[in-house]
Amino acid sequence: MNSRIRGADGFRAIACMMVIYHHVMQRLDPAASPMWVQVIQYMGMRGEVGVSIFFVLSGCLLATPFWNAFIGHTPQPKMRTYFQNRAARILPSYYFILILSTFLAVKIINFEIVWSRIVSGVLLVSHFHWNTFFASELDPPLWTITLEIWSYILLPIVLFSIFWKARTVKAAAIGMGIWIVFLQSLQPLIIKFFMTDDYLKGWEWGWAGG
């Protein structure tokens, strides 16, 4: 039976084009552009929402087998298979691009090696600190990968915490709602109490500073 969710590929394509549009518009100087170009650029600068679409779509698709198992009272997907599939899909291409972009940045563009970024990128923890957020200065969009990987790790933990006590779909939905409210309430508190200062901040310090 084909379990593919129709429309998912279309959403992926839309999100991809939004992100590309966003990054292209970043390269334009609004002060040197006519008004109609500035309007197009302004719209493009909102294209970062495409990243959010990717995250929401991935979470929806990956959570579906767990919810289907809960609703159908069947065994949950095996964690070993789940993580093996995620690793096989992401890690080979991620490490290849990380190594290639680092090599090109050092050998061709003469960027300085920042070992803390490289090591944190290899260990998949670059997003835990702003100074290592971009593991590759030449390929900044890699920042999303480590964040996605940790989201993949957290997803079954959150779902199992919901399914552990829930006996009905209604109870599970309430549990999901509690998680959503908790995370939405936590975000402004983190921004308020853990915001870093302006040291080494600004585009003159590269992508991490910007």
pLDDT tens profile 19-33: 888 878 877 777 777
pTM: 0.79
DSSP 25-40: HHTS-GGGS-HHHHHH
Q: Is 71 exposed, middle or buried (0-12, 13-18, 19+ CB in 10 A)?
A: exposed
pLDDT tens profile 34-92: 888 788 887 777 777 888 888 888 899 899 999 999 999 999 999 999 999 999 999 99
Determine contact, residues 140/208, Cβ cutoff 8 Å. Answer: no
Domain ranges in the chain are 1-74, 78-210
